Amino acid sequence: MVGMPRRRVAVFGAGYIGLVTGACLAELGHEVTVRDINPEKIRLLRSGEVPIYEPGLGDMIVRNKERLTFTLDLDEALDGAEIAYVCVDTPPSASGDADLSRVWSVVRSLEGAAHLRAVAVKSTVPVGTGSRVRAALDAAGLAHVGYASNPEFTAEGTAVGDFMHPDRIVVGASDEATAGLISELHQGVDGPIVVMDVRSAEMVKLASNALLATKISFINEIATLCEKTGADVEEVARAVGLDHRLGSHFLRPGIGWGGSCFPKDSEALRQLANNTGYHLQLLSAVIEVNNLQKRRAIQKLKDELGTLAGTRVALLGLTFKPGTDDMREAPSTVLAARLLAEGAEVRCWDPMARPADSEPWTSTTRYETPELAVDGADAAIVVTEWPQLKEVDWARAASVMRRPVLFDGRNLLDPAGMRALGFTYLSVGRP
């Protein structure tokens, strides 16, 4: 970008958000050092490998290797840095509130970094965190260092494009200079910058994810009602979404939302409200509907197969959505656990997933192809809408299954076509 000041940025955390932020800031021309405390991650990144699967990220890292380095060393990360970006994860704690221990450990490590001009937090945090970090910075003699909340709205699988062409960039800062610095850092990004106070910026992130989750739970409930009334949820969602006041996004019915963000952030927002003594009734229902949605899948199979004990069930797709290897809070985990508890044998296929080496996955069998997973099965469930599942020779699959029962949890396949192949075909909200 001609005329744009190049900044030295230290990014803390080499997870999805940190790597995408680091790579995209380097792409914009800044000098970036990404610091993580995990030696294996840093070793891989230094040897040119990306420890996560995110389309376009590897190429971007290679393209910007002159301006993008990875380190375990705190001093190296902070050397000459003007801005420290906090991109560490904030997993749920035992109480359901966000666990901020990693954020605090980064903030503590900044003590003495008097040359910094700003600390920006991308990690999703409860409203009010910025004020507490501000006070900690002040107490550490860093009162001159600005603070900004700069929440992340990228989605896994499209994160690089989302970062470079966002619907909006939210910058929450208590002073104009910091707001200006963080805004200017994004020069070259194709999207409007919205400047506000820190608490509001923190709330925008939580409210956005909660509203997206609400849309999905809403359409999932309508889908259930469609099943009971003979309407087709796909037609309903299409026409509802044409109303520009409502919008067509996030109205895809399915087996429930998962991932590293919606479950954690909706629970964290619920607890944030509970901590103020206010009960977010709508959000609580949204979470409950989602929990039910995963269990309804098992009930549908039971209705069809009678008992699940002694049956073989294939889970097609394990990740929480296609285009990622992320298994965090994936509905497949609940399905596998419930099927095993009912006495079924669970067979799995997924092109990218790396399920944890723990239950329920250690009690399941992995297959290289969907065809192998369904061979001899009593039922199969499309859990993740991987495009590969559209290419399966379903006619052959129907002939090798012990019972050709298919629950399409993502409405990926054509009902009439599947039934013509001999499948007992079940889906979500379609007659």
Q: Considering the complex, state which of residue 130 and residue 323 has its C-beta at the smaller distance from ligand UGA.
A: 323
Residue ranges in 153-182 that form contacts with ligand UGA under rule CB under 6 A: 153-156
Site for ligand UGA in 296-355 (CB under 6 A): 320-321
Total residues at the site for ligand UGA (CB under 6 A)? 21
Q: Interface with ligand UGA includes 209 (CB under 6 A)? A: yes
Residue 258 assigned to a binding site: yes
Catalytic position from the list 24, 226, 261, 348: 261
Candidates 36-44, 61-69, 146-154, 416-424: pick the segment binding ligand UGA (CB under 6 A).
146-154
Q: How many CA atoms lie within 13 A of 40 on its CB side?
A: 2
89 scored as a contact of ligand UGA (CB under 6 A): no
Q: Is 215 annotated as a binding residue?
A: no
- In the complex with ligand UGA, which residue's Cβ is closer, 19 or 145? 19
For residue 152, say whether it is annotated as part of any ligand binding site.
Answer: no
**Does the annotation list 124 as a binding residue?**
yes
Looking at 13, 15, 254, 404, which residue binds ligand UGA (CB under 6 A)? 254
Which of 126, 146, 166, 259 lies at the binding interface for ligand UGA (CB under 6 A)?
A: 259
Q: Is 348 a catalytic residue?
A: no
User: Residue 186, interface with ligand UGA (CB under 6 A)?
Assistant: no
* Residue 321 annotated in ligand binding: yes
Among 27, 36, 82, 152, binds ligand UGA (CB under 6 A): 152
Q: Which of 8, 186, 252, 430 binds ligand UGA (CB under 6 A)?
A: 252
- Cβ proximity to ligand UGA: between 208 and 424 the closer is 208
Residue 37 or 155 with smaller CB distance to ligand UGA = 155
Q: Counting contacts by CB under 6 A, is residue 212 touching ligand UGA?
A: yes
Q: Does 258 bind ligand UGA (CB under 6 A)?
A: yes
| Residues annotated as part of the active site | 261
Residues that bind ligand UGA in the complex, under the rule CB under 6 A: 124, 152-156, 209, 212, 216, 250-252, 254, 257-259, 261-262, 265, 320-321
